[in-house]
Structure formats: C-alpha cells, structure tokens
Amino acid sequence: MNKKINLIINRIGFAFCLLVGMALFLSEKFENNVAIRVLSLIFIITMFSRENRKTLFKSLDIEFSIELLLFIFVPFIIAYFDGGIDTRLDNYILRYLIFFPFVFFVKDMKKVMILLKATLFSATIVMILATFNFIKDYKEWAKPVGMYYPRITAILTVQDFANIMCIILLFLMSFLLFYRNKDNKKNKIIKVFLFIMTALTLFLVIVNRSKMVYICLLPTVFYIIFKKRKRYILVAILICLGGYFALPNSITDRLQYIVNYEKDPSSNLRVIFWKTGLEAFKQKPVLGWQWEDRKDFNLKYYQKIGVSEYVHQNFLDRLSEWPIYYVHTHSTYLQFLLDFGIVGILFLVIFFVSTFMKAASINFSKNKENIDSRLVALEIGTKAALAAWAIQGITDINLNNKYMIITSVILLFLLNYLWKEKIKLEKGQDENE
C-alpha cells in the first residue's frame, strides 16, 4: 500500500476511534450505524497491507487475542448448533472486535491521551446536561414518593449513566492523584481542572442513587487511595462514614434497601430473577437456553412461586415490548451462563482470568518516581475501572448492553497498551544490562 495513502487511512481510522469514544455518550445511532461500521471497514482495508498486519501483531498479546476471539465466537457456535443464531437475542458481543482497530490506530501515548480527552469532552457535555436536569427536577428528586426514587441522567439511561460515570470518576481520581506535569504552572492548572471534574462527577454519581455503583466505588476508590498512600485509607474510611451521615434522607433512605431488599421492588426483583435463573440452569446446564423457551419457563416459574403479578406490575408491564426483559437476570454472569451454558461460561471465565492476570502483571506504580506519570495514572485508573465494570456486572447484564461493551472495549485497549509499554520497558532494561 502506498505510504501516503496508508498514512491518510491511518489518520481517518484514528479519527473514527475518537468518534466511537465520543458517540458512547452523545449518540447511540451514530455510533452503531456510522462510527463502528466505518471504523471496522477502514481497519479491514488497512489489513490488506502486509506491513500493517505486522504492525498489528507487534502491538498484540497473541495469547490474549486468541482468548478474546474465542470468548466472542464460541457463543455463536453454541447458538448455531443449538437451534440457530437467532435463538439468542442479540449479537452485541461482536462489538468486542473493535478492540483490534483501537490497538492498530491508537498506537502511542499522544494518541491515547487524545482519545481520553475526546471521551472526557463528550462525557462533560452529558454531565452538564445532567446537572441542569438535576436543578430542573430537584423538587421531585428531593421528595421521592413511595418506592419511586427519581434518578438523574442525560441522554443515557439512568443505569448506564451511573455505571459509565463511575468509571470516568475512577480515571479522574487516578489522574488527579498520580499525574504530574513538568511545568509547575501547567501542573497546577491541570490539577484544578481534574479536581473540579472529579467533584462534579462524584456529585452526579451520588445523586443518581445507584446502589450498585455505591458498592463498586468502595473497593475501587480505596484501591486508588491505597496506591497513593497506605496511611490515607483510614482517612478515606472516616470521610466515607462522615459523608454518609451528611447525605440527605432522599439518598440514605434508598441505601437501606441494599440489606432490606424485600421492601424494594428494584432489589427484590433481582433476587427473584436470580432464583429463577438458577432454577433454569438446572434444566439446561450444558449449552444454555433458546430465548423463547426460557421466556416460557420464566413466566411459568413466576406463577409457580407466586410472584407473577408482582413481576408484571413492577417490571414486565412497562417493558414487555422488548423480548430481553422476559429473560432478564440482572446479572452479566448468570445471563451468559443461561444463554450459553457451562461451555460458554468456561470461555468467559478463561478470558476474565487472562484479563486479571494481564492487569496484575503491569506495575508501573511500583517505581512511579522514575516512570512517566501518565503511565502510572493510566495503570491505576484502568485496573480500578475494570474491577468496577466486573462488579457492576453482578447486578446488570453488561454483555447485553451496547454502552457497557464499548466501555469495556476501551478499557481492554488501554490494558493492552499498558502491556505493550511494559514489554518495551523490559526490553530496554535487558538491552542496558
């Protein structure tokens, strides 16, 4: 391929990587119908060049890539031999394939930082809109009626907003605590900006009132603080305790339902779905269920245990036009197990373990005084965000959610970039020795 043409195509590919990150917040239709499709097409075109293929393979951990591909395609093989592809409701998992265009087009730290800034820019627009919505609807938000607690968002669904803003918050905290610019004046300006953005994001996450996000923030925020200074953990615990008692009743009243789940339809429904899912798993453990069969099983099981009216009144009556809600388990892992059985979940577990081991092998923060602070902040932010995504998956079906899949693709790309930088550093040390 002509070098000039290749350069132009690479720049266009990078631009569409930015658009995918930005469209995550601003336009689902643009992301699905334009950004992802064009990015995939450009990537396929570039792969006709032998040199480009070599460049891609140099940037990849081949073993990790194979595990990712198996995780993506084995579910389709299971579905094909168990009634056909359309017997499972969606193919969103295919979006993990854009991991490879991201790895190829976003090659260096400069481009990584541009990607993060572009994503933060679009997230900031959503946060500003959400803040206006909070101000506009404050009276309704502050005085919930019965079990209905209005939640704050803009553009995104309330739970997607909470989950993604939680991840944004972890990155902002990581850069606030670990990034430093050599120019003291610039460093102060950047720190002030990061502090303001961290405070705004934390505020919006709190007023969104997602119970699971509160839970997943505790270990991940403590991890970030632990990496900064171990002795700060006690201070952080005291701040959390003091902050809890400073929160308005409209927030703390909802938190009680983490324990008293039977009194809260949102929490109680999850328990019902989990019990139903476990019962369904006993019936078809190996390859999972076709969705129409599981819909019938679920409806009959709700009647059997006497919760049919409760489930319809609090869930299905307003969501029945979407088939996914008839087989909804409110758990990424249980949903995957029921869709693809033990065979499918095996490859999910292999991929998750591989991701964990890859993350654990990266440790720039161990020698943070002598390492580019951007790498340290990226490492800690990425690890915390991956942990948050995994915890969120306990009560949300992240692998059936376009937004959460794209979010995890970006996190996996960042993890791969950090791994590549680690390998470069190790090679440099070996050469010096």
- Asked whether the predicted pLDDT for residue 232 surpasses 90, the reply is no
More confident residue, 230 or 359: 359
C-alpha–C-alpha distance, residues 404 and 411, integer Å = 10
pLDDT class of 429 with cuts at 50, 70, 90? low
According to the model, what pLDDT value does residue 428 have? 66
- Asked whether the predicted pLDDT for residue 237 surpasses 90, the reply is no
- Asked whether the predicted pLDDT for residue 371 surpasses 90, the reply is no
The chain-wide mean pLDDT, for the chain, equals 90
pLDDT class of 325 with cuts at 50, 70, 90? confident
Q: Mean pLDDT check: name the lowest of 131-140, 223-232, 242-251.
A: 242-251
More confident residue, 97 or 323: 97
Percent of the chain with pLDDT over 90: 65
- Asked whether the predicted pLDDT for residue 351 surpasses 80, the reply is yes
In contact, 171 and 383? CB cutoff 8 Å: no
Query: If you average pLDDT over residues 290-315, what whole number do you get?
Result: 91
C-alpha–C-alpha distance, residues 247 and 258, integer Å = 16
pLDDT digits (tens, 9 = 90+) for 328-342: 899 999 999 999 999
Q: Which class for 360: exposed (0-12), middle (13-18), buried (19 or more C-beta within 10 A)?
A: exposed
Cα Rg, the chain, nearest whole Å: 23
pLDDT digits (tens, 9 = 90+) for 388-420: 999 999 999 999 999 999 999 999 999 999 999
Query: If you average pLDDT over residues 130-142, what whole number do you get?
Result: 92
Query: If you average pLDDT over residues 154-172, what whole number do you get?
Result: 94
Give the CB-side neighbour count of residue 133, counting CA atoms within 13 A: 17
Q: Which of 56, 57, 20 has its CA nearest to residue 37?
A: 20
According to the model, what pLDDT value does residue 1 have? 63
